[in-house]
Amino acid sequence: MTEIVAIIVPALTSIGLYVLARFKDTDVSKKDVYEQRLTNLYIPFYKKVFLFNIGLKPSDLSTTAILSVTDILGNNIHYMDTTSQVLFIKLFQVQLELIDKRETNKDLKSISKTFDTIFNELSNQLLKEYKHICKKLKLPEPVENI
């Protein structure tokens, strides 16, 4: 009987430690991914939009400013939730049309309104994701008025 206990106790201890280590590894890797998302996507986007959003509609920004924002988004699309990815693709398509119309001096009213609408939807969605990650990491949430 003592021999059986001597075999079972270390085996159960090993299994228990393995399971705990796996949970800890999963927790650490989730935290790392959340931190990468913050560092590469949400914080740079938030800063850029906050700086540009002083009394301007997104379509009022210069082409260079628009491209700098969509560059951050495009290079980090893999960090976005699915809804944001879909909105980014729509925004990118409209952005191309907006820039083309700017260069050819065509009427911008309709395309500007569409661009502003999609940009604001995407910004709100990204802010929602950003706040969610901050809660998960127990970090202060960003202000909403961007």
DSSP secondary structure letter of residue 140: P
The C-alpha atoms of residue 123 and residue 90 are separated, in whole angstroms, by 13
Instruction: State the number of CA atoms in the 13 A half-sphere of 34 facing the CB.
Output: 17
Q: How confident is the model at residue 6 (pLDDT cuts 50, 70, 90)?
A: low
Tens of pLDDT, residues 108-131:
999 999 999 999 999 999 999 999
Tens of pLDDT, residues 7-51:
655 555 555 555 555 555 555 588 899 999 999 999 999 988 877
Strand, helix or coil at 34? Answer: helix
**pTM greater than the 0.85 cutoff:** no
